[in-house]
């Protein structure tokens, strides 16, 4: 591929209303599609999360725990189908802004091993990017060699894709301004960490409290765990608030945005 693609993660907390089952945040989806179009970024790959589309059905049927009985099969199908519906909304919104978005469902090209990607056929993705398409993939219920099936998070997918595609950078859009010293939703004294290194991330994931004493929990903890991989390979990661209008356009255009910049060292 001639130029390195930029990877954009759209968090489930941004594109859905998280506490309302199967409810999209259509206003955010359309605004973000407009921002992506305005940025005029040339090689882009989008991965989105599930938010209120993925989690409730997957949790009801315990899909993340793997195959335990036939009663779960319908739950696997429903989880994937809900993600297809959300993906369709995103792709339609991008197409509406004149962008050649192309849906690439993970469950049709990835089988995990114990919940982890071990083999990632890239032909379709690289071909699509070099032709000028914008692949739009997502966190999904996928088949698994060891457990029967598993949940592949959008964070794992974008991190592995970024490395395999030799991405320029990974922009992670969430519903807070970046990585904080503790969860900003529950801790009023939380401070934004504007710059972090691989060493900082490893301390966070390993549970060792670093000099900054960062307390990372919930969805952000999983994100930091996965994002360690691209950072380790020298790919810069930027965590920004995608609910704030203009942030994603600015980040895609390489302009300065409030957020957390994570680099190797």
Cβ closest to ligand ADP, residue 182 vs residue 197: 182
Residues 114-145: b if buried by 16+ CB within 10 A, e if exposed: ebebeeeeeeebbebbeeebbbbbbbbbbbbe
The kind and range of the H/E element at 206 are: helix 198-206
In whole angstroms, give the CA distance from residue 260 to residue 3: 25
**Rounded CA separation 42/57 (Å):** 36
CB 36 within 8 A of CB 94: yes
The helix/strand/coil state of 219 is: helix
Of the ranges 86-94, 121-129, 183-191, 246-254, which one interacts with ligand ADP (CB under 6 A)? 183-191
For the CB of residue 42, give the shortest distance to ligand ADP in the complex, in Å. Answer: 26
The answer to the question of residue 212 lying near ligand ADP (CB under 6 A) is no
Judged by CB under 6 A, does residue 51 bind ligand ADP?
A: yes
DSSP-derived secondary structure letter, 143 = E
The stretch near ligand ADP (CB under 6 A) out of 76-84, 95-103, 104-112, 177-185 is: 177-185
The size of the interface with ligand ADP (CB under 6 A), counted in residues, is: 22
Q: Which tokens go with 22? A: 């199967």
- Binding region for ligand ADP (CB under 6 A) out of 68-76, 119-127, 162-170, 181-189: 181-189
String marking each residue 147-176 x if it binds ligand ADP according to CB under 6 A: ---------------------------xxx
Contact between 180 and ligand ADP (CB under 6 A)? yes
By the criterion CB under 6 A, which residues form the site for ligand ADP? Answer: 11-14, 49, 51, 174-176, 179-180, 182-185, 214-220
């Amino acid at each position: 591929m001639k130029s390195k693609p930029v990877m954009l993660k759209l968090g489930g907390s941004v594109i859905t209303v998280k506490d309302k089952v199967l409810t999209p945040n259509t206003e955010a989806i359309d605004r973000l599609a407009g921002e992506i179009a305005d940025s005029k970024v040339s090689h882009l790959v989008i991965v989105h999360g599930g938010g209120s589309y993925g989690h409730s059905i997957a949790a009801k049927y315990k899909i993340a725990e793997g195959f335990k009985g036939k009663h779960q099969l319908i739950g696997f199908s429903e989880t994937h189908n809900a993600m297809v519906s959300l993906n369709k909304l995103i792709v339609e919104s991008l197409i509406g802004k004149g962008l050649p978005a192309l849906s690439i469902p993970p469950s049709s090209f990835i089988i995990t091993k114990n919940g982890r990607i071990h083999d990632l056929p890239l032909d379709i993705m690289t071909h699509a990017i070099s032709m000028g398409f914008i692949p739009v993939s997502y966190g999904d219920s996928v088949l698994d060699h060891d457990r029967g099936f598993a949940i592949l998070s959008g964070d794992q997918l974008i991190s592995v894709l970024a490395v395999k595609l030799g991405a320029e950078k990974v922009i992670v859009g969430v519903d807070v301004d970046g990585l904080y010293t503790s969860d900003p939703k529950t801790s009023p004294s939380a401070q934004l960490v504007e710059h972090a290194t691989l060493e900082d991330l490893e301390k966070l994931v390993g549970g060792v409290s670093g000099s900054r004493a960062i307390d990372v929990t919930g969805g952000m903890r999983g994100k930091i765990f996965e994002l360690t991989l691209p950072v380790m390979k020298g790919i810069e990661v930027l965590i920004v608030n995608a609910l704030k209008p203009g942030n994603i356009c600015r980040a895609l255009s390489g302009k300065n945005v409030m957020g957390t910049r994570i680099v190797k060292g």
